[in-house]
Structure 1
Amino acid sequence: MPPAPALSIQGLSHSFGPQGVLDDVTFSLPVGRVGCLIGPSGCGKSTLLSMIGGLSEPTHGTIAHAFRHPVFVFQDPCLLPWRDARDNVAFGLKAQGVGRNERRCRAARLMEVVGLAPDDVGKYPHELSGGMRQRVALARALAIEPDLLLLDEPFSALDLGLRRQMQALVRRLIDQRNLTAVLVTHDLAEAVRLADCVFVLSGKPARLTARHDIARPFAERDDGFVHSEVNRLLSDPATARALAVEDMGHGGGQ
């Protein structure tokens, strides 16, 4: 039997005033899986992600899950410029009432987990590269021990080599911690590389036009597989139509 859904979205529609954004979106995602929302810019992917994380409510429909600690990672790391890297990582722990020594120790350990050097602990955001700032943001997200990771194009501002490193790091941490994750991207190759389920949105208001399952384990998704899988997905007419307005699948994921 398939695993029970961790995330269930039923008949979800949403409008901003008279402008429809999402229309009758329905899908589910099992525990411990990575789902990807993909579609043209402005089609409502980030709006849907914010609803999954509880930041806003849909006009119609339901979102059901039992996650207690959802956390967002955005394209902009959103670090506090007056705090050093360790204190940025520990920020959420302070809000949870964790003592100073404990939160600093946990933050230092997590910085090591995401590949930051001991010398980086005391640096301020302006002293860190873009990739290092994104690693701090990831460590900050992991510090509160989330059970749902919500990723809103967190790699799109990084150069190609660093993007690939961060993609591999995030997916490895998701698998190690058995997290459920939802990724927003406009890059079909990135979706194929990282996700177990790809949900294609299109139209205004956006509907779910296709769902694709990626069966191969993440560790076995080399460049050849990603290229052939992108072509397979684009051979589906509904997916090709939905993504035809942008150059999908030839960007940062390759």
Structure 2
Amino acid sequence: MERLIVKDLNHHFGFTEILRDINFQLDKGKVLSIVGPSGGGKTTLMRLCAGLLDVEEGSVTNSFSSSAFAFQEGRLLPWKNVIDNVALGLFARGEKKQVAMPKAQEIALKFGLEKSDFHKFPKDLSGGMKQRVSFARALVTQPALLFLDEPFSALDIGLKKELQAILIEMIDKKEISILYITHDLMEAIRLSDEILLLKADPGHIVKKFSYELAQSKRDDSYIYTQSVKILQDTEIINTFELELK
């Protein structure tokens, strides 16, 4: 069975300890979020899991057949137009243009881009359009595992809910597994089967929260109710340095 297993993971930058004793498992078809304040080591942890940084101590075992990434910034290639950016992963795995382009166009339209946008370059796109392209590029290859590093943080509420709805549809069909890094607790509750709380200096996991209700059935009332509950948790209050009265 495909899964991501992180065991006894520690990491340093020079003499600075960034992560200590990280252990968790992400199974196929599940969404695991790691939440915590800014500067707590979340992005470093994701990069270690994705193989973008070398593991120094402990182990990361990834048996998923394929993976893709969506970040806070679009990270598009400025010299390529929209549709070429979307098709980048397809070309990288050797698909011919006549096969790759229809796939890229189909998913671009699904993510709310217009045909008139296909030949625009990143400099001509708004931040929201860049993020649409980023998601389309990440998902066009139908990855088994999707790494998300705060991809909604700079988006307006409407676009955020639109992109989340597309992910929830895929989650509901068990088409994808997701490791999601965020500091937004409501987003984590909306998308996750399990949430790990990462406390800083150094980053270490202090608590786990689990949610059994299917993501497609989590309406705003459910999200608000669960958010109120989690914000009353002592570890959440201490980790995010909240002052609740």
Report if TM-score (shorter chain) is over 0.5: yes
Give how far 1:126 is off: 2.6
Give the Cα separation in 2 of the matches to 1:246 and 1:153: 24
Q: Take 1:146 and 1:128, find their aligned partners in 2: how far apart are those partners? A: 25
How many residues align? The count is: 244
- Give the 5 Å matches for 1:54-65: 54-65=51-62
Counterpart residue number, 1:87: 84
2:148 counterpart residue number: 151
Residues 1:136 and 2:133 are matched in the alignment = yes
CA contact (8 A) 1:84 1:121 kept: yes
Q: Distance in 2 between matches of 1:246 and 1:200?
A: 18
- Residue 136 of structure 1 deviates from its aligned partner by 1.0
* Displacement after TM superposition at 1:5 (Å): 7.3
What is the alpha-carbon distance in structure 1 between the residues aligned to residue 196 and residue 98 of structure 2? 43
Whole-angstrom CA distance in 1 between matches of 2:170 and 2:59: 29
1:164-189 CA deviation, whole Å, 9 max, x = no partner?
22222222234446211011111111
Task: Kindly report the root-mean-square deviation, in angstroms, between the aligned alpha carbons of the 2 structures.
Answer: 1.9
* Unaligned ranges ≥5, structure 2: none
Match of 1:48 in 2: 45
Q: Is the 8 A contact 1:40 1:245 kept in 2?
A: no
Partner of 1:189: 186
Match of 1:100 among 88, 97, 100: 97
Runs of 4+ in 1 over 4 A off after TM superposition: none
Q: Is the 8 A contact 1:39 1:45 kept in 2?
A: yes
Q: Does 1:229 align with 2:226?
A: yes
Alpha-carbon distance, 1:117 to partner = 2.2
- 1:200 has 2:197 as partner: yes
Please give the TM-score of this superposition, normalised by the length of structure 1: 0.90
Q: How many Å separate the matches in 1 of 2:89 and 2:52?
A: 17
* CA distance in structure 1 between the aligned counterparts of 2:56 and 2:28, rounded to whole angstroms: 26
Q: Given the superposition, is the C-alpha separation of residues 59 and 31 from structure 1 closer, same or farther in structure 2, using an over 3 Å criterion?
A: same
Q: Deviations over 1:6-56 (max 9, x none)?
A: 121111111111100010011112210111110010100000000111111
CA shift for structure 1 position 156:
0.6
Which residue is 2:13 aligned to?
16
Displacement, 1:219?
A: 1.8
SS in 1 for 2:181: strand
Residue-by-residue CA offset, 1:119-141 (whole Å, 9 max, x unaligned)? 22222223332222111111111
Q: 2:117 aligns with which of 109, 116, 120?
A: 120
Alignment partners' CA distance in 1, 2:241 and 2:55: 28
- Whether the 8 Å contact between 1:88 and 1:136 is mirrored in structure 2 is yes
Aligned sequence identity (%): 37
Letter in 2 for 1:24: D
Q: Is the 8 A contact 1:40 1:246 kept in 2?
A: no
Which of 241, 244, 253 lines up with 2:241 in the alignment?
Answer: 244
Q: Check conservation: 2:237, 2:243, Cα contact below 8 A.
A: no
Tell me the TM-score normalised to structure 2 length: 0.93
Per-residue deviation, 1:245: 5.4
* Structure 2 residue matching 1:81: 3-state secondary structure: coil
Partners of 1:162 and 1:100 in 2: how far apart?
30
Distance 1:31 1:51 in 2: 19
Distance 2:222 2:83 in 1: 38
Q: Specify the SS of the correspondent of 1:239.
A: helix
Tell me the alpha carbon deviations over residues 145-171 of structure 1, each in whole angstroms, 9 at most, x when there is no partner. Answer: 211100001111111222222222222
For residue 160 of structure 1, what is the aligned residue in structure 2?
Answer: 157
